[in-house]
């Protein structure tokens, strides 16, 4: 259950009638997101790491080093369902990269079709915006280890339009006006390029090329000289 003013925050997961306490301190969850995005990690490693990062254990002996050793601590049949329950608790019904986050006006900040921000890439924008709107230093909060993920997520959604973070998202989402002249279009393209996420940067740079440059770029892609992503 997400943040509830009526019921508070539920920091337990129940799997196969076994109850597991979890720690959703905000910086720990951000590291969890980074772990899931790491393409060099295989699925087993991500499942193992996810459980060790989020579930609270009182180790009686050495910490497990792999799934096989973890199955000696918790029932083997709980491991995969527990990993899925962690994803459900943090990211909702979608995968860790597809959670839907809205601001207080209902505007989608992130959805299944397009991600408009990235916690890692936009950490500076988020930091300065929390300081501006809430007087909250997130690095100090990280050291205290008391800011819960549910609270952090609610505060991200409630940032005002005047913050750096929300202005950056507005630029990324900006459409080109129908009657815009070439200078206006180029100005918008440059603004988008300045704040683009890594995954969008190549497309924006391609859009800013003239016809000759685009042909050369496509020829290089066909020869495998540039990354087509």
What integer pLDDT is reported at residue 113 of this predicted model? 53
Closest CA to 32 of 54, 11, 63: 54
- Digit-coded pLDDT (tens) for 128-170: 999 999 999 999 999 999 999 999 999 999 999 999 999 999 9
**Total number of domains constituting the chain:** 3
If asked whether residues 57 and 16 sit together in one domain, one would say yes
212-219 average pLDDT score: 66
- Digit-coded pLDDT (tens) for 89-98: 998 765 555 4
SS3 track for 118-152: CCCCCHHHHHHHHHHHHCCCHHHHHHHCCCEHHHH
Tokens of 213: 């440059």
Residue 196 is assigned to a structural domain of this protein: yes
If asked whether residues 56 and 119 sit together in one domain, one would say no
If asked whether residues 162 and 199 sit together in one domain, one would say no
What integer pLDDT is reported at residue 88 of this predicted model? 92
- Which of 138, 155, 170 is at the close of a domain? 170
Residue 1 is assigned to a structural domain of this protein: no
Number of neighbouring beta carbons within 10 Å of residue 22: 20
Residue 202 is assigned to a structural domain of this protein: yes
- Digit-coded pLDDT (tens) for 10-25: 899 999 999 999 999 9
Number of neighbouring beta carbons within 10 Å of residue 176: 11
Is it the case that residue 184 has pLDDT exceeding 70?
Answer: yes
- Digit-coded pLDDT (tens) for 71-119: 988 999 999 999 999 999 998 765 555 444 544 444 445 544 567 888 9
Residue 96 is assigned to a structural domain of this protein: no
If asked whether residues 128 and 57 sit together in one domain, one would say no
Number of neighbouring beta carbons within 10 Å of residue 8: 10
Query: What domain range is 17 assigned to?
Result: 12-91
Closest CA to 3 of 157, 158, 149, 160: 149
Residue 65 is assigned to a structural domain of this protein: yes
Predicted TM-score of the model (pTM): 0.76
If asked whether residues 23 and 76 sit together in one domain, one would say yes
């Amino acid at each position: 259950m997400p943040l509830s003013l009526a019921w508070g925050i539920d920091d337990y997961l129940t799997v196969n009638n076994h109850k597991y306490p979890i720690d959703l301190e905000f910086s720990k969850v951000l590291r969890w997101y980074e772990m899931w995005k790491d393409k060099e990690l295989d699925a087993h490693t991500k499942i193992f790491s996810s459980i060790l990062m989020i579930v609270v254990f009182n180790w009686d002996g050495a910490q497990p080093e792999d799934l096989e050793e973890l199955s000696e601590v918790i029932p083997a049949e709980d491991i995969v369902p527990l990993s899925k329950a962690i994803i459900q608790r943090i990211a909702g019904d979608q995968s860790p990269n597809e959670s839907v986050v809205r601001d207080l006006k209902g505007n989608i900040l992130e959805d299944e079709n397009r991600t408009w921000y990235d916690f890692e890439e936009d950490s500076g924008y988020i930091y300065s915006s929390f300081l501006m709107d809430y007087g909250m230093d997130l690095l100090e909060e990280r050291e205290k280890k008391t800011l819960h993920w549910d609270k952090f997520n609610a505060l991200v959604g409630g940032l005002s339009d005047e913050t750096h973070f929300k202005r950056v998202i507005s630029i990324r989402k900006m459409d080109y006006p129908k009657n815009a002249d070439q200078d206006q279009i180029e100005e918008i393209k440059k603004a988008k390029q300045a704040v683009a996420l890594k995954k969008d940067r190549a497309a924006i740079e391609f859009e800013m090329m003239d016809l000759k440059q685009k042909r050369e770029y496509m020829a290089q892609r066909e020869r495998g000289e540039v990354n087509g992503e």
